[in-house]
A and B are shown apart, each in its own frame.
Chain A
Amino acid sequence: MEFRIKKCAAWAGGLTNENDWKAFANDEKKLEQLTPLPLLKQIPAMQRRRLSPFAKLSLQCALEAAGDEMGTVATVFASRHGDLHKTSQLISNVALNEELSPTQFGLSVHNAVGGQFSIFANNKAPLTATSAGEDSFLMALTDAVCKLNSNNYDSILLVYTDEAVPEIYQQYVMQDEVSVGAALLIERPQLNEINFQLTMKASIKDAVESKTMQVFDFLTFYYNESPKKLINSKRYTWTLTRQ
């Protein structure tokens, strides 16, 4: 499948703007382990108070990438773990027989951040929330491009977010995780512009989970302007190219 990227925004490990990410992609800057959160002062305080760190990462990138289209663009929100810090807090409350916070409970579903985006942006366009293990980022990109084509949209917004999992889950995670938000405003391919191609096939036998989060492979490819990038996961071999 082929597509164009109109705008890319990402926020992780102290890297927050295009220059940071270019430096990261060219090995001139490293991701810090901790991700300071965006302030999101453009969101009214009464809405902002309900944004978790996960939601702040998502909305920062979503709003920056969507720009003027935030009120109209269709969206795909993707995350491997979702807002797991919130979910795991609720599970602890249940285990300890404590009362659950109605606010936290109401915002613990996978599409909650999409809902918060749509309320702030007054956006009534179709919205999906997806998850696909370590392939969550590239599967969501596949999903977004399919929706763009089948619905004949002018553009579609992909928003991907994941946080380093809570401590009790860390033993189950193979990847080097850094809390990250990334958003792409995607269009159909255009003549005389740089377009991207993405293909996937089943992985080779005995493939293992990648140590690197897919989103960082993608951002490196996008910002260092290399012509081609292979990304292997346990289940798939992905190929990204640009022309």
Chain B
Amino acid sequence: MTVLSDEVKNLIIETLDLEDIEASDINNEDPLFVDGLGLDSIDALELGIAIKKAYDVKIDNNSEDSKQHFYSVKTLCDFIEVSKK
């Protein structure tokens, strides 16, 4: 879990060109969008593609479930773990 969360944080930073942010700046439980990290809707699409590519998981666009999966690093990691099985 810890390893995966670091991996996901680095993926977020790299994919979204967050040049002034390091993995240790992102809390597992903090919201990724609007408040917290301050990502926007284009970031959501970009991140969706990156996660799909990196972990070969299927993401349902616009579903309520997807919104919950992308809420924080923790929810994203849980989603990846479950989907991989």
Chain A residues within CB distance 8 Å of chain B:
45-46, 48-50, 99, 101-103, 106
Check if B18 is an interface residue, CB within 8 A of chain A. Answer: yes
A-B contact count (CB 8 A): 24
Which of A45, A46, A48, A103 contacts B46 (CB under 8 A)?
Answer: A103
- Name 20 A/B residue pairs within 8 A (Cβ), A-sorted: A45-B18, A45-B20, A46-B38, A49-B16, A49-B17, A49-B18, A49-B19, A50-B17, A99-B49, A99-B52, A99-B53, A101-B49, A102-B42, A102-B45, A102-B49, A103-B42, A103-B43, A103-B45, A103-B46, A106-B42
CA distance A13 to B43 in the complex (A): 33
CA distance A102 to B18 in the complex (A): 16
Per the CB 8 Å criterion, the residue count for chain B at the interface is: 13
Residues of B within 8 A of A (CB): 16-20, 38, 42-43, 45-46, 49, 52-53
Question: How far in angstroms is the closest Cβ of chain B from A98?
Answer: 9
Complex contacts, A46 vs chain B, CB 8 Å: 38
Q: Which residues of B contact A50 (CB under 8 A)?
A: 17
Q: Given the complex of chains A and B, what is the CA–CA distance between A92 and B3 in angstroms?
A: 33
Q: Nearest chain-A residue to B44 (Cβ)?
A: A102
- Min CB distance, A50 to chain B, in Å? 7
| Residues of A with C-beta under 8 A to B46 | 101-103
In the bound complex, what is the Cα–Cα distance between A49 and B16 (angstroms)? Answer: 8
If A101-B46, A102-B45, A102-B46 touch, whether A45 touches B19 (CB-CB below 8 Å) is yes
Report, nearest first, the 4 A-B pairs whose CB atoms are least far apart: A102-B45, A49-B17, A45-B20, A99-B49
Bound complex: CA A45 to CA B45 (Å)? 20
Distance of A50 Cα from B39 Cα, bound (Å): 12
